[in-house]
Amino acid sequence: MRKKIALLILLLAVLAFAVIPVNQQKTIRVKASFFNVYQQLAAAGNWAKWRTDLRRARLSDSSKILSTRNTNGFKISHGDLKLNVQVHGYTFVVDEENKKNEYNYSYTVLPGKYPNATSITVMQKTGILNYLLHLHAKKPFNETHINDLKSFMENPDLYYGYKIIKKRVTDTNIVVLRRAVLSKNKFIEAAKMLADLKHFLSLHHLTQTQPLMAQFFNKANDSSQVNIGLPVDRKIKTRYPISFMAMPPTGYLYTAKFSGKFIDRLKAYAAVKRYFNDREMPIPILPFETYLDNKLPATDSDKINIQINFTTF
């Protein structure tokens, strides 16, 4: 009888030990601006961008991810996953429930020492037994998805939506034709300008070395600025309206590839511009496009395959 009582007491002690609450905490550094990190946490719609489980669901069928706002924060649900996020200043308290477990954790976001750095302190409430098991497994804080957030913010492909690459200038000698035209005629005029440049190359025995380059910019009064350029194999003297431009061979470009409708390319422009702004990098000249198929569009809805090029100091 005494042995049974002793075993019962021991069992109760073990159970009590297992559920004793403890807080585990760590601080990580994220190479991204405080504003950008805070926005990812403060907007319910952004959680489906950086959390890997929600991102998979978003890519397959985003309509199945539901979010609702309340006085102090918002709720997100997808299938068996339910998140209740309460916002208290710079702290985001998360109550998570899924098919197997319930979790409680929080993120406290503060500016780092440098402009493009953020400090996030994550705190997780757990039982002491789980705490010890996680230490043994060397995987504490996995349930908080803090590493998802860090990876997302520090990976331009994920955060900006485009692979942004720094590369050296390859097209150093370029013949260029510039013209202001009516916006409704920009594609017709661009085709004529390209034909004029090709005729110029033929007359002067020049060889085109890379795909054609172009700039299309809206101006006032329903007009557009169209600039067409062809990289060539050598320097040459030109006369108006054709001009010669030499790019420094030691210079760099930040590039992003885009395939889709011509009119939708502005999304890629906005992404690279945001990349520059986040890093406080100057944009000394207007960006330009390299048409990788060496073919200009004829309408706004034509599919194009281009590389967008931004320069900086």
pLDDT digits (tens, 9 = 90+) for 230-243: 999 999 999 999 99
- Alpha-carbon span 76 to 92, nearest angstrom: 14
At residue 132, φ and ψ (nearest 5 deg) are -65, -40
Confidence check: pLDDT of 40 > 90? yes
**Beta-carbon neighbour count of residue 177 at 10 Å?**
20
Cβ atoms of 308 and 269 within 8 Å: the answer is yes
* Residues present in the chain in total: 313
pLDDT digits (tens, 9 = 90+) for 167-207: 888 778 999 999 999 999 999 999 999 999 999 999 999 99
- Alpha-carbon span 13 to 141, nearest angstrom: 26
Residues 250-262, mean pLDDT to the nearest whole number: 92
> What is the Cα gyration radius of the chain?
28
- Long-range Cβ contacts of 299-302 (<8 Å, 24+ apart): 299/187, 299/262, 300/261, 300/262, 300/263, 301/261, 301/262, 301/263, 302/261, 302/262
Q: Which of 245, 240, 178, 172 is nearest to 209 (CA)?
A: 172
Q: Which fold has domain 20-156?
A: Alpha-D-Glucose-1,6-Bisphosphate; Chain A, domain 4 (3.30.530)
Confidence check: pLDDT of 42 > 60? yes
pLDDT band per the 50, 70, 90 thresholds, residue 136: very low
pLDDT band per the 50, 70, 90 thresholds, residue 113: confident
Who has greater pLDDT, 77 or 16?
77
Q: Return mean pLDDT, the chain.
A: 89
Residues 97-125, mean pLDDT to the nearest whole number: 91
Domain spans of the chain? 20-156, 165-311
Tell me the CATH number for domain 165-311: 3.20.80.10
